[in-house]
């Protein structure tokens, strides 16, 4: 007997509907007492512990039965010979983390790669169909994060003793694979420091953990692996027309507090008008992971856009780094 799933979509969003059918092909009548379908999900992490130990953690995320209209497939304790289709449909819980699969080489080369996985599957079992083992089928399901509403973010900071005011705006913090992130910048520079370059990049940070073994009633230690990488990077060299000019004779500049408020007002006005410097980054690569911090707190994936404003001196105190959290949906 052949037993397999056919699904209507390659992936399903959290909170979305997963539908398809279970196909049963029997060349002869098969004994059966019950046909059960379930949607399951689990989270697994592996971390290198102390003294060459290997710590593993596993947590069940979801395990629910799927009700089906079986149309009398099982009659008199048997499934008749022929091809049968059992349609099914289930709503995927909205609070599940998306599918993820990654590995990382630990410190000890003798130990297998550290890793983190969130995986989902459909499982069907024909109860009472075998002497030693029942007929069953399994199919992996890719779950992706549900698209969120557009959320513009704006941030304004000053540095170099308040002489440089910088505004950063992102119209939508939701990113998808293949999308070109765009950052809008507005700068007021009334000091002697030259803004040499602006560098924008998207950073991905993955964290997963597992508890180690511990005897004597002591609390088991938690070992953590952190993997940070730059997904996309672009540097843009500014010219002399890239900053807004302010008249030093302005009355508002006589009072430092009023001057600061006035500069922030000008930067906000320029950003609201869609002016300033637009930095368009390369497309988000297919290697990007889904952003998520849910599950059983063993796995966390964060993304952010980092914009660095550099000066010729390259002194840490002379550079400004602005960070805005974003989310990536990897379909």
Q: What is the pTM of this model?
A: 0.71
How sure is the predictor about 6, in pLDDT bands with cuts at 50, 70 and 90?
A: very high
Query: In degrees, to the nearest 5, what angle opens at C-alpha 199 toward C-alphas 197 and 204?
Result: 165
Q: How far apart are CA 100 and CA 83, in angstroms?
A: 35
- Regarding the domain delimited by 2-144, which CATH topology (the fold level of the hierarchy) does it fall under? Immunoglobulin-like (2.60.40)
Of 283 and 227, the structure prediction assigns the larger pLDDT to: 283
Q: How confident is the model at residue 288 (pLDDT cuts 50, 70, 90)?
A: confident
* pLDDT confidence band for 216 (50 / 70 / 90): very low
Query: Does residue 31 or residue 244 have the better pLDDT?
Result: 31
Rg of the chain in Å (alpha carbons): 28
Better pLDDT: 140 or 298: 140
CATH 2.60.40.640 fits 153-329, yes or no: yes
Residue-level pLDDT at 223: 63
C-alpha separations of 63 from 40, 52, 136 in Å? 4, 34, 16
Residue 38 has a pLDDT of 94
Within the chain, all domains assigned CATH 2.60.40.640 are found at 2-144, 153-329
Q: What is the pLDDT of residue 110?
A: 44
Q: What is the pLDDT of residue 309?
A: 80
Region at 268 (left for phi over 0; alpha for psi -120 to 50; beta for the rest): alpha
- 276 vs 185: CA distance, rounded Å: 6
Highest mean pLDDT among 111-120, 303-312, 313-322: 303-312
Residues 6+ apart with CB under 8 A from 104: 113, 114, 115, 225, 227
The per-residue pLDDT for 255 is 62
């Amino acid at each position: 007997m052949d037993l397999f799933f056919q699904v209507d979509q390659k992936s399903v969003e959290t909170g979305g509907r997963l539908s398809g059918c279970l196909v049963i092909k029997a060349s002869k009548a098969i004994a059966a007492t019950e046909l059960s379908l379930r949607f399951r999900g689990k989270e697994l992490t592996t971390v290198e512990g102390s003294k060459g130990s290997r710590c593993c953690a596993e947590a069940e995320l979801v395990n629910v039965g799927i009700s089906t209209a079986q149309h009398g497939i099982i009659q008199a304790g048997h499934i008749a010979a022929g091809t049968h289709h059992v349609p099914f449909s289930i709503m995927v819980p909205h609070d599940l983390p998306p599918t993820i699969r990654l590995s990382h080489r630990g410190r000890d080369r003798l130990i297998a790669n550290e890793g983190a996985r969130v995986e989902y599957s459909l499982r069907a079992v024909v109860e009472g169909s075998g002497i030693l083992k029942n007929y069953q089928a399994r199919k992996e399901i890719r779950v992706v994060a549900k698209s969120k509403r557009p959320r513009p973010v704006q941030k304004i900071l000053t540095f170099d003793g308040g002489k440089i005011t910088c505004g950063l705006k992102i119209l939508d913090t939701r990113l998808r694979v293949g999308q070109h992130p765009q950052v809008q910048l507005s700068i007021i520079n009334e000091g002697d420091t030259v803004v040499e370059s602006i560098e924008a990049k998207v950073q991905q940070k993955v964290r997963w953990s597992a508890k180690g073994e511990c005897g004597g009633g002591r609390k088991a230690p938690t070992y953590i692996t952190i993997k940070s990488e730059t997904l996309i990077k672009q540097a843009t060299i500014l010219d002399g027309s890239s900053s807004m000019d302010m008249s030093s004779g302005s009355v508002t500049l006589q009072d430092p507090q009023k001057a600061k408020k006035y500069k922030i007002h000008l930067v906000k006005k320029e950003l609201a008008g869609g002016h300033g410097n637009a930095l368009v980054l390369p497309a988000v690569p297919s290697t990007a992971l889904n952003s998520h911090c849910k599950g059983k707190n063993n796995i966390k994936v964060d993304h952010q856009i980092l914009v660095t404003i550099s000066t010729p001196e390259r002194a840490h105190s002379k550079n400004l780094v602005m960070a805005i959290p974003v989310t990536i949906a990897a379909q």
